[in-house]
Amino acid sequence: MLITSYHNHSDYSDGQTSAEQMYLAAKAAGLHEFGLSDHWIKPDNPNCEYASWGMPWERLDEYVEECLKWKKELDDENFTIRLGLEVDHFSSNWQENISQLQDYPFDYIIAAVHFAGDFPIDHRAEDWQGLSQEQIDAVWSRYLAKIRDIAASQAYDFLAHLDLPKKFNFMYSEALNDEIEHTLQSLSHNQLPIELNTAGWEKDCRSPYPDLTLLKRSRRLGIPLLINADAHQPAHVQHRFSEARALALQAGYTQLCRFKQRQCIMQEITHA
């Protein structure tokens, strides 16, 4: 089984170190395929505050060129760099944003939602504090609507952190159960893979994205899966991967995705 991690960040966006350091750490850690996916964000709302953690638009060419440079230098029979990008989805301008990426040789494009309207979902716990349960549900509902929009667009290769709004432990109520199911069915219908993102274990929620309950529901609906570290520093490039594989098996998954040139390739989970 090839051990892969495609959702990771360098200092082109909100990572803590250079692309070179991340690639060298991934190779030293024994990963077989590794990709950076720095944040590329072009919002449809001027109130979305992203400049402090998103890649400056004008650096996209530089980012791609550097990733390809390290691919040429570091690829060998045991290690392959894959070229990726994490793209925030905005319902009114996603087509324009995606069209700007078509001429780049990406192996995968990750869809992400970090804003519900201009509400910053995962920036600060303080943004959530003081909200009523009804207001919390409303944020989750806007978030889920964008996930369904992502699935229907068929413009991306997989979805980042399915249940990201739980990061600070502000959970949806049972009133949203049907909407959660509708969202999972949309992912299933459009065969959009999700990731088991191990970074959630270190957040306030102390749970990967998604949790085991959602992971089991995703498996029952046949939604493809891959495991990613969402690493922002070299020490985390393969963070808690053994636990993640065990969790995937517990949920009923027997295969994981890998990507090459925007194509999903399935492989068996051979060990936990």
Question: Using one digit for the tens of pLDDT, what is the confidence trace for 79-95?
Answer: 999 999 999 999 999 99
Which residues pair with residue 86 across a beta bridge? Answer: 39, 110
* H or E stretch covering 170: none
Structure tokens at 53: 């953690």
pLDDT in tens, 211-255: 999 999 999 999 999 999 999 999 999 999 999 999 999 999 999
Give the model's confidence band at 272: pLDDT under 50 very low, under 70 low, under 90 confident, else very high: low
The domain over range 4-268 is classified in CATH as 3.90.280.10:
no
Give the model's confidence band at 271: pLDDT under 50 very low, under 70 low, under 90 confident, else very high: low
For residue 183, what pLDDT is reported? 98
CB atoms within 10 A of CB 24: 16
With both helix axes pointing from N to C terminus, report the angle between 60-74 and 19-28 in degrees, rounded to the nearest 10. Answer: 30
Provide the 3-class DSSP secondary structure of residue 227.
strand
Q: Does the pTM of the predicted model rise above 0.85?
A: yes
Place of tokens 């360098």: 10
